[in-house]
A = this chain, B = another copy of it.
Amino acid sequence: MSRIGSPKQAEEAAELTTTPTAGARPDEVRQHNRAVLLRRLHTGGPCTRAALAAEMGLNRSTIKALVDELVKDGLVVERVPAQRSGAGRPSLLVLPQPQAAVTLAVDIRVEQVAMALIGLGGEILNRCSWSLRPTSRNPREVFTKIVDNSAVLIEEAGVDVVAVGASAPGVVRRADGMVREAPNLHWTEVPLGDWLSRALDGRRVEVGNDAELSALAEHLRGAARGATDAVFVGADVGVGGGVISGGMPLRGSGGYVGELGHMVVRPDGHECYCGSRGCWETEVGERALSRALGLPEDSPRGVVVAELHALAQQPDEVLQRLGEFGEWLAVGLCNVVNLLCPQLVVLGDLFTALPRTLIDHVGKLVTERSLVSRAMGGTKLVTSSLGADGKLLGAAELAFEQVLASR
């Protein structure tokens, strides 16, 4: 239990912007404000001291003391802004120092693994990736290569890694990073979190579902920035979704996140490995898109994207060729909107290559058919602004969550 100290400390304690543990000691209060400030700089980017004071509702001398401390600890640097506004002494610009806290992010997909060292503020400091083929998807093999490459990345960059975040395309138990089922990889019960933690000298490792991490990244740094309620939906080999509700990632019982891709949209549709038929994934995933375009189901990603870009040049043909595909996309999006009432839906991965004509058409169908969308004055449909790096940035955030709280 906490105690409350001297009047001076009490005055500091009173100057609080958000809620730490109740009955917090002044040093806890300072620690809390420091963490809020660091997090703000990490996700919001460089900012003047004056703007930070206004934003956090703290007086300038308190901000100065906190920033001085962060500078002393090497977590941020201060610079005179290039462009001065108005007369008088310019407010110093505070910038996060990327090297001060570096996380290792791992993005395991069905067809490739990408890794990056990501510094405070979200800067990618070093990266690598390699393709996965059906013959090289064995969990042990993937894990070994991740460990080998992490050593190379770290040595090349000459930095230390404070924590690790990993993204996996499947159902993940967050508590221990157990990948329960990643069907497109044919993984079952892979203790990825444990393996990585042991191989990386006991560093803290967090593993999350890939679409959940995309949603997190788009919310913090991408197309859903500032939204309190947003849904990310992305198509890769599978289709996955992540939900931000009330400004926080939505998780269900036991920390599991939903599998939007396995919502049934077409009960007489294609059989799915999950045990259902006509899942969103079987009707709007990569194979479905290839079929809709008249390409072989197993066409390489590049061919599918090239075909979509060519089609986008002929807007009149878009609905003729992709109208039915758009129908299944709309059915799923209507369901998502009717169930979760998001302000906006971010389309990611392969969906970012869909012709704008199609996205607009689907958006119109959603508004016409969803009474929730109508009540809310429509639902914005946007494409991801982080592109392929979304899952890496999201995985890094899982790692940063722990790190920032204790810096």
- Chain A residues at the B interface, C-beta cutoff of 8 Å: 1-5, 7, 10-11, 13-16, 18-24, 29, 32, 171, 173, 180-181, 183, 227-229, 245-246, 250-254, 256-260, 262-268, 274-276, 327, 331, 334-336, 338-343, 368-372, 374-376
Contacts and interface: CB of A to CB of B under 8 A. Distances in A.
B251 A376 contact: no
Contacts of A370: 262, 274-276
A181 B275 contact: no
B253 A376 contact: yes
Given A253-B376, A258-B339, A341-B253, A334 B264 contact: yes
Given A370-B262, A372-B256, A374-B181, A276 B334 contact: yes
Contacts of A376: 252-254, 256
Which A-B residue pairs are the 3 nearest by beta carbons?
A: A252-B341, A4-B10, A229-B253
Nearest to A343: B253
B368 A338 contact: no
A22 B341 CA distance: 31
Contacts of A2: 14
Contacts of A260: 338-339
A57 to B, nearest CB: 9
A340 B258 contact: yes
Given A3-B14, A15-B1, A341-B257, A372 B171 contact: yes
Given A29-B23, A262-B371, A374-B181, A228 B245 contact: no
27 contacts: A4-B4, A10-B23, A16-B22, A18-B22, A19-B19, A22-B24, A181-B371, A227-B253, A229-B252, A245-B252, A246-B251, A251-B341, A252-B340, A252-B342, A252-B372, A254-B341, A254-B376, A256-B372, A258-B338, A258-B339, A258-B341, A259-B372, A260-B338, A263-B335, A264-B265, A265-B267, A336-B339
Nearest to A374: B181
Interface centre among A3, A250, A372, A376 (most CB of B within 10 A): A372
Contacts of A335: 263-264, 335
A115 to B, nearest CB: 26
A255 to B, nearest CB: 9
Given A5-B10, A259-B338, A274-B370, 15 more contacts: A13-B22, A19-B21, A22-B24, A229-B253, A245-B250, A259-B371, A260-B338, A260-B339, A263-B334, A264-B265, A264-B334, A267-B267, A267-B327, A275-B369, A275-B371
A56 to B, nearest CB: 13
Contact of A375 (B29, B180, B267): B180
B229 A368 contact: no
Contacts of A229: 252-253
A375 B171 contact: yes
